[in-house]
Amino acid sequence: MIVDLETKLGVDNDGRVFCIYDYEAQNPDELTVHCGDRLSVLRRGDDKETAWWWVKATNGKEGYVAKNLLAVS
């Protein structure tokens, strides 16, 4: 069976994902992440922006991360 991973990303496993690349925040509402960081997806984009998701890190910090930096946990 073929699974649509993007549909399941941030939904399955209680929204838990992990980061597959390092990213240094460029704006105050973004989150700096590192490869291997475990994150929880709180919001999967909105009506205008689908490429950036609001996530929470295990240290409690929250911010936007590009969804192409995330993988199923």
pLDDT digits (tens, 9 = 90+) for 13-51: 567 888 999 999 999 999 999 999 999 999 887 777 788
Query: Residue 53 in contact with residue 65, Cβ under 8 Å?
Result: yes
Top pLDDT among 65 and 4 is at: 65
CA distances from 1 to 4, 5, 9, 71 (A): 10, 12, 17, 19
Band of pLDDT at residue 73, cut at 50, 70 and 90: low
**Fold topology of 5-72:** SH3 type barrels. (2.30.30)
